[in-house]
Amino acid sequence: MINTLFLPELREMLADNNHAELSEFCVALHASRTAEFMAGLTSEEISQVFQHTDPDNRSDILSYFDRQKQVEVVSELDRNEAAKLVELLQPDDRVDLLQEVEDDVREELIALMPAEVRRDILRLDQYPEDTAGAMMTTDVTKFSETMSVREAMDALTVQAEDFETIYYLYIVDDENHLRGLVSARQLLTGMRKPTQKLGELMQTDVVAAHVMDDQEEVANKVARMDLLAIPVVDLERRLVGLITHDDVIDVVREEATEDAHRIAAVEPLDQSYLRTSVLTLSWKRGIWLTILFVCALLTAFALEQYESRLKTLYWLVPFIPLIISSGGNSGSQSATLIITALSRKHISVSDWAKVVTRELVMGLLLGVGLATLGLLASWFMINTEPRVIAPEDQPAMEISVDGGETWIANEVGGEVQSRVKQETQSLTHLAFFVVPLTLVLVVMAGTLTGSVLPLIFEKIGLDPAMMSNPFVAGIIDILGIVIYMTVAAWLVGV
């Protein structure tokens, strides 16, 4: 978000080096708004504005810039100032930012930080991307069971500003094992009896995430249980970090966007659309386009197998895209419905029988609906199609008056002749039903493939969103051609 409303004023204040107004600007608004108004400035101007406010406030504003802007500002600043600024960010934001700056800048900055912060950065860095460990902040305040409610309240009063969350108090034992939690709400009502120990007040059934849990699972858990934050523990249930609700919203949005991209056969982007280079984006699209292209090539080979049939019954050709896209569209509808239902836990693999039944019924309904339209269309198109006339005593002749030209194809050979005759007769009977019947079967094949494939990929542990769509498209394209040609052979007998 860039808001250009105050840019002229800001630039004027900078030109006048107006300390009073600039320092007021930095604190007057919520830091996210200040960041919005500053986002239009160059990184040099931003570092000038920062001279007029204290480091805490600087890092607060910095945290609301997008990653790219943060990197620019940090690279612009004097190394000492930059190190201080980065140090004051939340541990998780800090690590994310440091991963983006140039390697040498990163080394210099880390070298300038206190040993404790340095260790923390290295620890967080070791967790694989998309795990709870990579997502968490290590800035979690711990309380002991023997502390009284009043003592806890006093500690909060003194330090509230420094805590990542004050909404849950996590209680650990001497070896840092998570023992329980007291919510701020419980603490407040606990003040009626201020000598009470946290150990008596705490809930012991604490929902926690493991450091190696997938971030999507963590987000689902937090969302399902309406939590404000979730503690992160290691294998021995030691409290190592905390994930807060705002990180969860980000993950939910990120995962949803990734799913949407995967469904459209784009490898998920690491950055926003405009920040991603054209080459990276081409690569992330190209790999899937190539896979889809190979599937389509198989369709072309399949069509080649039916060359003689298509030449004899040329009127089948214009319907090819219609058949394929009807199957593909219904398949992609099913796949998307199943993928989103799986990711929101509305269904699980064990519901497969119910899902498949529903999809087949829907396939039948949708197929019959489209077939009705298809029947009208084939009636119209076949009736305007030139007929093959084959009197028994002379070679079959095809007379076409298409496009204002007249040309005649003369076929010889008994076999062909009798076949052509057969076609002439059947055109008036069953040909109209080739496209409609194919549509019913192809749409059912589409809903079946589109629903079964995501379930199979989920079952074998692959991401249904990533794997399903190209395969659904590929399978349906080829199946569509085979069904179409088989129905044509069956009904028209070529």
Site for a copy of itself in 38-57 (CB under 8 A): none
134 touches a copy of itself (CB under 8 A): no
Binding mask 228-247 for a copy of itself (x = CB under 8 A): x----------------xx-
Residue 190: CB atoms within 10 A of its CB come to 22
C-alpha separations of 211 from 133, 137, 232, 442 in Å: 4, 11, 6, 46
Binding a copy of itself (rule: CB under 8 A), the pick from 115, 225, 235, 353 is 225
> Considering only 45-53, 122-130, 306-314, 483-491, which stretch makes contact with a copy of itself by CB under 8 A?
306-314
> Considering only 77-85, 106-114, 339-347, 485-493, which stretch makes contact with a copy of itself by CB under 8 A?
339-347
389 touches a copy of itself (CB under 8 A): no
Query: Closest by alpha carbon to 453, among 359, 326, 323?
Result: 359
In the block, residue with structure tokens 């059912």: 444
| Distance from the Cα of residue 419 to its chain's centroid | 53
Round to whole Å and give the CA distance between 460 and 236: 29
444 touches a copy of itself (CB under 8 A): no
318 touches a copy of itself (CB under 8 A): yes
Round to whole Å and give the CA distance between 45 and 73: 9
Binding a copy of itself (rule: CB under 8 A), the pick from 42, 68, 203, 383 is 203
166 touches a copy of itself (CB under 8 A): yes
375 touches a copy of itself (CB under 8 A): no
434 touches a copy of itself (CB under 8 A): no
273 touches a copy of itself (CB under 8 A): yes
Task: Please give the size of the binding site for a copy of itself, defined by CB under 8 A.
Answer: 132
Contact predicate 340/260, CB 8 Å: no
> Considering only 11-19, 48-56, 137-145, 408-416, which stretch makes contact with a copy of itself by CB under 8 A?
408-416
Strand-pairing partners, residue 233, are 210, 239
7 touches a copy of itself (CB under 8 A): no
Binding a copy of itself (rule: CB under 8 A), the pick from 80, 189, 383, 428 is 189
Question: Element (H or E) spanning 282, and its range?
Answer: helix 278-305
Burial class of residue 114, CB neighbours in 10 A (0-12, 13-18, 19+): exposed
Q: Interaction with a copy of itself in 80-99: which residues (CB under 8 A)?
A: none
Nearer to a copy of itself, 115 or 408 (CB): 408
The one-letter amino acid code at 424 reads T
256 touches a copy of itself (CB under 8 A): yes
111 touches a copy of itself (CB under 8 A): no
Contact predicate 70/41, CB 8 Å: no
Nearer to a copy of itself, 17 or 357 (CB): 357
Q: For helices 103-111 and 79-87, give the axis angle rounded to 10 degrees.
A: 80
C-beta of 44: minimal distance to a copy of itself in Å? 23
> Considering only 77-85, 133-141, 234-242, 411-419, which stretch makes contact with a copy of itself by CB under 8 A?
411-419
> What is the DSSP-derived secondary structure letter of residue 170?
E
Contact predicate 239/206, CB 8 Å: no
Binding a copy of itself (rule: CB under 8 A), the pick from 3, 282, 428, 486 is 282
- The answer for residues whose C-beta is within 8 angstroms of residue 177's C-beta and 6 or more apart is 236, 237, 238, 239
Binding a copy of itself (rule: CB under 8 A), the pick from 55, 369, 391, 493 is 369
- Provide the 3-class DSSP secondary structure of residue 396: strand
400 touches a copy of itself (CB under 8 A): yes
Round to whole Å and give the CA distance between 216 and 223: 10
